[in-house]
């Protein structure tokens, strides 16, 4: 497949910019960062608030065919976990997305998530391990916890306590940038 330089972001509300101006979101900021650093890549934001891994998997084949991305950033699973969905299904959906991205010639970047502790230690640990295990098994780049330094700081979160505010978006980009930049080398 010919690499056209697109970076496809397949995510949920965290990447769609829920509750903020999209120009304040980390995905928009990523496009600006790429431009500033001289990278020719175009960022395609295929994120939908409320999306699950099942929805992302259903949408991915068309997005791959349309954009032929060089990199696919998969930022999904939080809504699965918050809804207490079966971890085997979440894992299978994420695994299939990574497989499809790789089969299409793209490099994949998986953005790991953690759940609030009210879901119980066993479930939250198993949930987080899905990302760690898949990244290792599929040999894909990983940001272990996409909201590192954000979810723990109320000043970086919206009033709902789930979605980062404008200030948190920059930190999210900082969590992604070093791993993504290495993929672009």
The single residue of 21, 86, 155, 160 carrying the catalytic annotation is 160
Burial code of 21-37, b = ≥16 C-beta within 10 A, e = fewer?
Answer: eeebbbbbbbbebbeee
- pTM score, two decimals? 0.96
Q: Is 128 among the catalytic positions?
A: no
DSSP 64-87: HHHH--SEEEEE--HHHHHTT--H
Q: How confident is the model at residue 25 (pLDDT cuts 50, 70, 90)?
A: very high
80-95 mean pLDDT:
96
Of the residues 13, 47, 51, 80, only one is catalytic, namely 13
| Average pLDDT of the chain, as a whole number | 95
pLDDT at 117: 86
Counts of helices then strands in the chain (DSSP H, E): 7, 5
Q: Supply φ then ψ for residue 29, to 5 degrees.
A: -60, -35
Q: Which of 41, 67, 128, 163 is catalytic?
A: 163
| Burial tier of 95 (Cβ tally within 10 Å: 0-12, 13-18, 19+) | middle
Judged against a pLDDT cut of 50, whether residue 16 lies above it is answered with yes
Query: How does residue 118 score in pLDDT terms, banded at 50, 70 and 90?
Result: confident
Q: What does the pLDDT look like over 30-81, one tens digit per residue? A: 999 999 999 999 999 999 999 999 999 999 999 999 999 999 999 999 999 9
Give percent of the chain above pLDDT 90. Answer: 94
Distance CA 42, CA 146 (A): 21
Domains of the chain, earliest start first: 6-184 (3.40.50.1110)
pLDDT value of position 66: 95
Annotation says 13 is catalytic? yes
Order of strands, sheet of 107-111, starting from the edge strand that comes earlier in the sequence = 42-45, 6-11, 71-75, 107-111, 141-143
Nearest in space to 40 (alpha carbons), one of 3, 79, 92, 83: 3
160 is catalytic: yes
């Amino acid at each position: 497949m010919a690499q056209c330089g697109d970076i496809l972001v397949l995510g949920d509300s965290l990447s769609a910019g829920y509750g903020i101006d999209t120009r304040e979101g980390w995905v928009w900021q990523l496009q600006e960062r790429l431009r500033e650093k001289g990278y020719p890549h175009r960022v395609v934001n295929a994120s939908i608030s409320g999306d699950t891994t099942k929805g992302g998997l259903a949408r991915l084949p068309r997005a791959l065919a349309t954009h032929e991305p060089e990199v696919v950033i998969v930022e999904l699973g939080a809504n699965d976990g918050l809804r207490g969905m079966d971890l085997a299904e979440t894992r299978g959906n994420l695994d299939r997305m990574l497989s499809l991205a790789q089969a299409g010639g793209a490099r994949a970047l998986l953005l790991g998530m953690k759940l609030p502790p009210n879901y119980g230690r066993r479930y939250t640990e198993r949930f987080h391990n899905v990302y760690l295990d898949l990244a290792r098994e599929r040999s894909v780049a990983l940001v272990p916890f996409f909201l590192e330094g954000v979810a723990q700081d109320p000043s970086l979160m919206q009033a709902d306590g789930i979605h980062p505010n404008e200030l948190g978006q920059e930190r999210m980009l900082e969590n992604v940038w070093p791993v993504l930049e290495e993929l672009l080398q």
